[in-house]
Chains A and B, each alone.
Chain A
Amino acid sequence: MKRYVYINDDNLAQDLYCDNRISNRKYTIWNFLPKNLWEQFSRFMNQYFLLIACLQLWSLITPVNPASTWGPLIFIFAVSAIKEAWDDYNRYLSDKKANEKEVWIVRQGIRKLIQAQDVRVGNIVWLRENDEVPCDLVLLGTADPQGICYVETAALDGETDLKTRVIPSACMGIDIELLHKIKGVIECPGPDKDIRRLDANMRLFPPFLDNDMFPLTIKNTLLQSCYLRNTEWACGVAVYTGNETKLGMCRGVPEPKLTAVDAMIDKLTGAIFVFQIVVVIVLGIAGNVWKDTEARKLWYVRYPKQGPWYELLIIPLRFELLCSIMIPISIKVSLDLVKGLYAKFIDWDDHMVDLETKTRSNAANTAISEDLGQVEYILTDKTGTLTENKMIFKRCCISGRFYGNENGDALTDTELLNAVSSGSADVIRFLKVMAICNTVIPVRSKSGAISYKAQSQDEEALVRAAARLHMVLANKNGNILEINLNASLLQYEVLDILEFTSERKRMSVVVKDCQSGKIFLLSKGADEAILPHSHAGQEIRTYAETVEQYAQLGLRTLCLAWRELDDDEYQEWALMFKDANSTLIDREWRVAEACQRLEHDLEILGVAAIEDRLQDGVPETIATLRKAGINFWMLTGDKQNTAIQIALSCNFVSPEPKGQLLMVDGKTEDEVCRSLERVLLTMRITNTEPKDVAFVVDGWALEIALKHYRKAFTELAILSRTAICCRVTPSQKAQLVELLKTCDYRTLAIGDGGNDVRMIQQADIGVGISGREGLQAARAADYSIGKFRFLKRLILVHGRYSYNRTAFLSQYSFYKSLLICFIQIFFSFISGVSGTSLFNSVSLMAYNVFYTSVPVLVSVLDKDLSERTVMQHPQILFYCQAGRLLNPSTFAGWFGRSLFHAIVVFAITIHSYALEKSEMEEVSMVALSGCIWLQAFVVALETNSFTVLQHLAIWGNLVGFYAINWIVSAIPSSGMYTIMFRLCKQPLYWITMILIVAAGMGPVLALKYFRYTYRSSKINILQQAERLGGPILSLGNIESQTRTLEKDLSPLSISLPKNRNSSVYEPLLTESPNSTRRSLGAGAPFDFFQSQSRLSTNYSRNCKDN
Chain B
Amino acid sequence: MSSGDAALQSSSSKASKKPTYSRFTQQELPACKPILTPELIMAAFIFLGITFIPIGLSHLSASDHVVELIDRYDEDCIPVDNSNSEAAYNKRIGYIQDVKTDKTCTRTLIVPKKMKHPIFVYYQLDDFYQNHRRYVKSRNDEQYRNPAADHKTAHCEPESMNNDNQPIVPCGLIAWSLFNDTYSFSVNGNSLPINKKGIAWESDKTHKFGSKVYPKNFQSRSLIGGAKLNESIPLNQQEDLLVWMRTAALPNFRKLYGRIETDLEANEMIKVVINNNYNTYTFKGKKKLVISTTTWIGGKNDFLGKVYITVGGICLFIAVAFISVYLIRPRPLGDPAYLSWNLDPASN
Min distance, Cβ A273 to any Cβ of chain B, angstroms = 24
A933-962: CB near B (< 8 Å → 1, else 0) gives: 000000000001111111000000000000
Stretch of A373-381, A892-900, A1004-1012 with 4 or more beta carbons under 8 angstroms from chain B: A1004-1012
Min distance, Cβ B147 to any Cβ of chain A, angstroms = 16
Instruction: For A988, list chain B residues within 8 Å (CB).
Output: 297-298, 304
Q: For window 106-158 of chain B, which residues contact chain A by CB distance below 8 Å?
A: 120, 122, 124, 128-136, 141, 155, 158
B20-48: CB near A (< 8 Å → 1, else 0) gives: 00001111011111111110010011001
**Known: A998-B52, A1013-B36. Contact between A831 and B133, CB under 8 A?**
yes
When the two chains form their complex, are residues B3 and A318 in contact, meaning their CB atoms are under 8 A apart? no
When the two chains form their complex, are residues B296 and A301 in contact, meaning their CB atoms are under 8 A apart? no
Q: For window 225-277 of chain A, which residues contact chain B by CB distance below 8 Å?
A: none
A532 at interface, CB cutoff 8 A = no
Instruction: For A627, list chain B residues within 8 Å (CB).
Output: 341
A1018 at interface, CB cutoff 8 A = yes
A860-902: CB near B (< 8 Å → 1, else 0) gives: 0101000000000101000000000000000000000000000
Chain B residue at minimal CB-CB distance from A986? B298
Chain B residue at minimal CB-CB distance from A860? B27
In the complex, A911→B346 CA distance in Å?
Answer: 58
A412 at interface, CB cutoff 8 A = no
Instruction: For B65, list chain A residues within 8 Å (CB).
Output: none
A294 at interface, CB cutoff 8 A = yes
In the complex, A986→B339 CA distance in Å?
Answer: 51
When the two chains form their complex, are residues A302 and B5 in contact, meaning their CB atoms are under 8 A apart? no
When the two chains form their complex, are residues A1033 and B248 in contact, meaning their CB atoms are under 8 A apart? no
In the complex, A301→B129 CA distance in Å?
Answer: 9
When the two chains form their complex, are residues A1050 and B308 in contact, meaning their CB atoms are under 8 A apart? no
Instruction: For A998, list chain B residues within 8 Å (CB).
Output: 48, 52, 311, 315
Min distance, Cβ B50 to any Cβ of chain A, angstroms = 13
A918 at interface, CB cutoff 8 A = yes
Instruction: For B232, list chain A residues within 8 Å (CB).
Output: none
When the two chains form their complex, are residues A832 and B129 in contact, meaning their CB atoms are under 8 A apart? yes
A537 at interface, CB cutoff 8 A = no
Instruction: For B5, list chain A residues within 8 Å (CB).
Output: 617, 620
Instruction: For A304, list chain B residues within 8 Å (CB).
Output: 158
Instruction: For A318, list chain B residues within 8 Å (CB).
Output: 133
In the complex, A992→B339 CA distance in Å?
Answer: 43
In the complex, A991→B57 CA distance in Å?
Answer: 13
When the two chains form their complex, are residues A1052 and B26 in contact, meaning their CB atoms are under 8 A apart? no
Chain B residue at minimal CB-CB distance from A1010? B322
When the two chains form their complex, are residues A298 and B133 in contact, meaning their CB atoms are under 8 A apart? no
When the two chains form their complex, are residues A1021 and B339 in contact, meaning their CB atoms are under 8 A apart? yes
Instruction: For B225, list chain A residues within 8 Å (CB).
Output: 299-300
**Known: A351-B12, A831-B131. Contact between A299 and B279, CB under 8 A?**
yes
Stretch of B73-81, B200-208, B268-276 with 4 or more beta carbons under 8 angstroms from chain A: B200-208
**Contacting A946 at CB < 8 Å: which of B31, B177, B279?**
B31
When the two chains form their complex, are residues A301 and B203 in contact, meaning their CB atoms are under 8 A apart? no
Min distance, Cβ A210 to any Cβ of chain B, angstroms = 63
When the two chains form their complex, are residues B122 and A916 in contact, meaning their CB atoms are under 8 A apart? yes
A721 at interface, CB cutoff 8 A = no
**Contacting A1013 at CB < 8 Å: which of B32, B34, B331?**
B331
Instruction: For A1051, list chain B residues within 8 Å (CB).
Output: 340-341, 345
In the complex, A2→B29 CA distance in Å?
Answer: 62
In the complex, A999→B310 CA distance in Å?
Answer: 10
Stretch of B161-169, B184-192, B250-258, B259-267 with 4 or more beta carbons under 8 angstroms from chain A: B250-258
In the complex, A915→B194 CA distance in Å?
Answer: 21
Instruction: For B35, list chain A residues within 8 Å (CB).
Output: 1012, 1023-1024, 1027-1028
Q: For window 977-1000 of chain A, which residues contact chain B by CB distance below 8 Å?
A: 977-978, 986-988, 991-992, 994-995, 998-999
**Known: A835-B133, A988-B297, A1024-B333. Contact between A1018 and B339, CB under 8 A?**
yes
When the two chains form their complex, are residues B36 and A1009 in contact, meaning their CB atoms are under 8 A apart? yes
A573 at interface, CB cutoff 8 A = no
When the two chains form their complex, are residues B282 and A1033 in contact, meaning their CB atoms are under 8 A apart? no
**Contacting B339 at CB < 8 Å: which of A353, A832, A949, A1033?**
A1033
Instruction: For B132, list chain A residues within 8 Å (CB).
Output: 295, 298, 301, 831-832, 834, 836
In the complex, A998→B130 CA distance in Å?
Answer: 31
B320 at interface, CB cutoff 8 A = no
Dominant SS among interface residues on chain A: helix
When the two chains form their complex, are residues B250 and A912 in contact, meaning their CB atoms are under 8 A apart? no
A1053-1086: CB near B (< 8 Å → 1, else 0) gives: 1101000110000000000000000000000000
When the two chains form their complex, are residues A945 and B31 in contact, meaning their CB atoms are under 8 A apart? yes
Instruction: For B256, list chain A residues within 8 Å (CB).
Output: 916
When the two chains form their complex, are residues A1023 and B334 in contact, meaning their CB atoms are under 8 A apart? yes
Min distance, Cβ A825 to any Cβ of chain B, angstroms = 14
Chain B residue at minimal CB-CB distance from A1017? B338
Instruction: For A348, list chain B residues within 8 Å (CB).
Output: 25-26
When the two chains form their complex, are residues B348 and A1060 in contact, meaning their CB atoms are under 8 A apart? yes
When the two chains form their complex, are residues B135 and A300 in contact, meaning their CB atoms are under 8 A apart? yes
When the two chains form their complex, are residues B282 and A297 in contact, meaning their CB atoms are under 8 A apart? yes
Instruction: For A1053, list chain B residues within 8 Å (CB).
Output: 340, 343, 348
Min distance, Cβ A67 to any Cβ of chain B, angstroms = 16
How many residues from A make CB contacts under 8 Å with B? 109
Q: For window 288-344 of chain B, which residues contact chain A by CB distance below 8 Å?
A: 296-299, 301, 303-304, 307-308, 311, 314-315, 318, 322, 325, 329, 331, 333-336, 338-343
In the complex, A863→B37 CA distance in Å?
Answer: 18
A919 at interface, CB cutoff 8 A = yes
Min distance, Cβ A852 to any Cβ of chain B, angstroms = 22
Min distance, Cβ B45 to any Cβ of chain A, angstroms = 7
Min distance, Cβ B55 to any Cβ of chain A, angstroms = 7
Chain A residue at minimal CB-CB distance from B226? A300
**Contacting A908 at CB < 8 Å: which of B34, B307, B315, B336?**
B307
A830 at interface, CB cutoff 8 A = yes
In the complex, A353→B4 CA distance in Å?
Answer: 11
When the two chains form their complex, are residues B296 and A914 in contact, meaning their CB atoms are under 8 A apart? no
A1025 at interface, CB cutoff 8 A = yes
In the complex, A300→B133 CA distance in Å?
Answer: 12
In the complex, A787→B298 CA distance in Å?
Answer: 70
When the two chains form their complex, are residues A917 and B131 in contact, meaning their CB atoms are under 8 A apart? no
Q: For window 819-877 of chain A, which residues contact chain B by CB distance below 8 Å?
A: 827, 830-832, 834-836, 838, 861, 863, 873, 875
In the complex, A835→B133 CA distance in Å?
Answer: 6
**Known: A830-B250, A836-B132, A1021-B335. Contact between A1008 and B36, CB under 8 A?**
yes
When the two chains form their complex, are residues B334 and A945 in contact, meaning their CB atoms are under 8 A apart? no
Instruction: For A922, list chain B residues within 8 Å (CB).
Output: 249
When the two chains form their complex, are residues B249 and A916 in contact, meaning their CB atoms are under 8 A apart? no
**Known: A912-B303, A1023-B334. Contact between A918 and B346, CB under 8 A?**
no
Q: For window 1009-1043 of chain A, which residues contact chain B by CB distance below 8 Å?
A: 1009-1010, 1012-1014, 1016, 1018, 1021-1028, 1030, 1033-1034, 1039
When the two chains form their complex, are residues A923 and B249 in contact, meaning their CB atoms are under 8 A apart? yes
A448 at interface, CB cutoff 8 A = no
A333 at interface, CB cutoff 8 A = no
B287 at interface, CB cutoff 8 A = no
Instruction: For A295, list chain B residues within 8 Å (CB).
Output: 129, 132
Min distance, Cβ B91 to any Cβ of chain A, angstroms = 16
Which residue among A617, A922, A1014 has the maximum number of chain B CB atoms within 10 Å of its CB? Answer: A617
Which residue among B120, B249, B318 has the maximum number of chain A CB atoms within 10 Å of its CB? Answer: B249
A144 at interface, CB cutoff 8 A = no
In the complex, A831→B128 CA distance in Å?
Answer: 9
When the two chains form their complex, are residues A787 and B29 in contact, meaning their CB atoms are under 8 A apart? no
A836-B133, A949-B29, A1048-B341 are known contacts; what are 20 more A-B pairs with Cβ within 8 Å?
A: A299-B177, A300-B135, A301-B132, A351-B8, A617-B2, A620-B2, A627-B341, A838-B249, A914-B250, A916-B120, A977-B203, A991-B55, A991-B304, A1010-B322, A1013-B38, A1026-B33, A1028-B333, A1039-B1, A1061-B345, A1061-B346
15 A-B pairs whose Cβ atoms sit less than 8 Å apart in the complex: A298-B282, A304-B158, A345-B25, A831-B129, A875-B341, A916-B256, A919-B249, A947-B31, A950-B31, A988-B298, A1009-B38, A1013-B331, A1018-B340, A1022-B334, A1056-B340
A-B pairs, 5 with minimum CB distance: A1053-B340, A1024-B334, A1025-B334, A617-B4, A945-B31
